[in-house]
């Protein structure tokens, strides 16, 4: 019995210690812990580092060193470096790369990143990665999906149409039949500010380069006092708007909106 009490007590203390450890981390580390940074190496040369776009990031900076293992000296010799700051988004990512840097198996990468938020600079601790096979981007390791069906254009088109159909069926199975093609741009006093709902929706989509082809898939539009609603031709079209418009459009999916408020 005593030992059980002891055990429970020490578990509780351990949890407390963990919580305190987190609480005692400096603010900047708690802040930077929430960003996942990805590192990928290419053959024969190239390194890329990125993190997803976040409203908390104004500038993303990287301080990265690559060292060669050297058995005769104690640590790696840091003979390559990449120091870059960027505030430009590429495909929804803060993306830093050096196509010329050669990184090989067995090298060590040491890096930390910086984030500016509200003009304040936060930096992470230094992290180390041993370069093993998993860090390399190798197309041959990737599975072959429909893009491998090149060659015959006709077959490729049929395949794409078939996949679209499959996807929509799967989506319906996942989200249920209440899934809709409806989207909504919130805009206070929209009925006073917007003269032509269709023009408004189409021009909002047109402003995002990746969404231009979807302008013709807008089926209906309507004005509400707090925004402009519209319906896309298919569910997939709706998901494209949500996915490709992320970070560019403050568009609302009624389906997930209703789920969240339930």
- Residue 98 sits at the vertex; the CA angle it makes with 73 and 145, to the nearest 5 degrees, is 110
**Pairing state of beta strands 227-232 and 77-86?**
unpaired
**Shortest distance, CB of residue 12 to ligand NAG, whole angstroms?**
42
Q: Does 9 engage in binding with ligand NAG (CB under 6 A)?
A: no
**Shortest distance, CB of residue 192 to ligand NAG, whole angstroms?**
7
Q: Which is nearer to ligand NAG, 131 or 211 (CB)?
A: 131
Window 145-204: residues binding ligand NAG (CB under 6 A): 188-189
Run of H or E residues at 262: none
Give the x/- contact pattern for ligand NAG in 83-122, rule: CB under 6 A.
Answer: xxx----------------------------x------x-
**Shortest distance, CB of residue 62 to ligand NAG, whole angstroms?**
9
**Shortest distance, CB of residue 122 to ligand NAG, whole angstroms?**
10
Q: Does 227 engage in binding with ligand NAG (CB under 6 A)?
A: no
Report the C-alpha gap between 244 and 236 in whole angstroms: 12
Report the C-alpha gap between 249 and 252 in whole angstroms: 9
Does residue 43 sit in helix, strand or coil? coil
Contact between residue 142 and residue 80 where contact means Cβ atoms under 8 Å apart: no
* Beta partners for residue 39, in sequence order: 49
How many residues are recorded in the chain?
Answer: 262
Q: Does 70 engage in binding with ligand NAG (CB under 6 A)?
A: yes
Q: Write out the residues near ligand NAG by the rule CB under 6 A.
A: 61, 68, 70, 72-73, 77, 83-85, 114, 121, 188-189
């Amino acid at each position: 019995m005593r030992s059980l009490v002891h055990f429970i007590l020490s578990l509780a203390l351990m949890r407390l210690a963990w919580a305190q450890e987190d609480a005692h981390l400096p603010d900047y580390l708690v802040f930077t812990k929430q960003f996942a940074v990805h590192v990928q190496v290419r053959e024969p040369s190239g390194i890329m580092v990125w993190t997803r776009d976040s409203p908390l990031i104004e500038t993303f900076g990287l301080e990265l060193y690559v060292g060669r293992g050297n058995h005769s000296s104690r640590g790696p010799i840091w003979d390559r470096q990449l120091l870059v700051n960027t505030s430009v988004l590429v495909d929804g990512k803060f993306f830093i790369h050096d196509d010329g840097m050669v990184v090989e198996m067995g090298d060590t990468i040491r890096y930390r990143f910086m984030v500016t938020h509200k003009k304040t600079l936060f930096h992470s601790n230094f992290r180390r990665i041993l370069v093993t096979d998993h860090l390399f981007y190798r197309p041959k390791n990737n599975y072959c999906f429909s893009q491998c069906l090149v060659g015959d254009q006709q077959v490729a088109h049929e395949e794409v149409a078939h996949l679209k159909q499959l996807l929509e069926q799967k989506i319906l199975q996942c989200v249920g039949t209440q899934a809709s093609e409806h989207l909504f741009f919130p805009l206070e006093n929209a009925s006073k500010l917007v003269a032509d709902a269709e023009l408004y929706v189409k021009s909002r989509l047109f402003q995002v380069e990746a969404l231009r082809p979807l302008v013709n898939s807008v089926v209906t539009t309507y004005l509400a006092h707090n925004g402009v609603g519209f319906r896309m031709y298919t569910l997939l079209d709706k998901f494209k708007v949500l996915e490709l418009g992320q970070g560019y459009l403050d568009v609302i999916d009624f389906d997930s909106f209703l789920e969240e408020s339930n």
